[in-house]
Homo-oligomer: A and B are copies of this chain.
Amino acid sequence: MRFEVTVLGSSSAVADNHKHHSAHVLNVREQFYLIDCGEATQIQLRRYKINPLKINNIFISHLHGDHVFGLPGIISTLGFLGKRTPLNIFAPAPISKYIEYHKELFESELQYEIKVHEVDHTQHQLIYENKVMEVWTIPLRHSIASTGYLFREKNPPLNVRKESIERYELSLQEIVAIKAGSPLRLTDGQIIENDQLTYSPYTPRSYAYCSDTSASGRVAEIVSGVDLLYHEATFAEDQHTMARKTGHSTAKQAARIALKAEVKKLIIGHHSSRYKSAEPLLNEAREIFPNTLEATEGETFKIDLVSTKV
């Protein structure tokens, strides 16, 4: 029951030697979600042993090259590898035009369907769900339409407490009804509320990806309480004017959002190439939010399943 993020790249526009542009892969119980797709993402997938055919959903934050130029390569390679199931691509406009142009010039014989979903970058809304997970947009503030993504496991089916079963001598029928959320009516007419009878077997896990963006209070509200927040930190605090001007954040601002949102862990990246080391940015962030780590290329951040067995 994995829930883990592998960083394929977190460099800003002018990447340093051996570093790669933005791309993260979220593995939720062996379903893989690609978040941003900078140039060479397909090479990074190979390097970190992630089978591209396992990716059926790609989420692009915005249409700047350092977040999207790996998309044509992935699309073509999936064709070569024999993909036949649809590929969903979520991104702000003009993603439809980008994919249309790509198909016109390069994919006259593509054997699978690309389903393009243009998301409204101004809204916080549910854009994808399956049995176990939901994906929500996070409105960001950048020089062009940009959106973050919040990945959240759904609440698991309720378990009925053992002591309730024993105490009320519950029938199978009653157990099924209680698991579905019903209260229990005793023979004397007394009502036992559902939450007195049940528990959630584990806490749903969550990951939020926010890049590129100026610091935003709305982001802090939306990512409230997530297990892992990736927030861009292009600049150090002494460059906060530059950050605001270019639609980016400082490390301190990223940390303030993590603190305000009471997230469990913050990872930062997308540092300007002027910073030869991430240390000063990490130090700055940790003054505000100690549990900050660098979104180092190749690193996997695992979020363990926390059982709530009672």
- Which A residues are closer than 8 A to B by beta carbons? 13-18, 20, 39-40, 42-43, 46-47, 63-66, 69-70, 72-73, 76-77, 80-81, 94, 97-98, 101, 105-106
Contacts and interface: CB of A to CB of B under 8 A. Distances in A.
A88 B63 CA distance: 25
A14 B81 contact: yes
A287 to B, nearest CB: 31
A38 B188 CA distance: 76
Nearest to A68: B106
- Copy number in the complex reads 2
Most chain B C-beta atoms within 10 Å of own C-beta, residue among A20, A43, A63, A76: A43
Contact of A76 (B65, B70, B106): B65
Nearest to A107: B65
A94 to B, nearest CB: 6
Contacts of A105: 63, 94, 97-98, 101
A15 to B, nearest CB: 7
A73 B77 contact: no
Contacts of A80: 13-14
A13 B70 CA distance: 15
Contact of A106 (B17, B40, B65): B65
Given A63-B105, A65-B72, A97-B105, A77 B43 contact: no
A63 to B, nearest CB: 7
A80 B98 CA distance: 21
A101 B40 CA distance: 21
Contacts of A63: 105-106
Nearest to A95: B105
A230 to B, nearest CB: 22
Nearest to A77: B14
Contact of A73 (B42, B65, B76, B101): B65
Contacts of A14: 77, 80-81
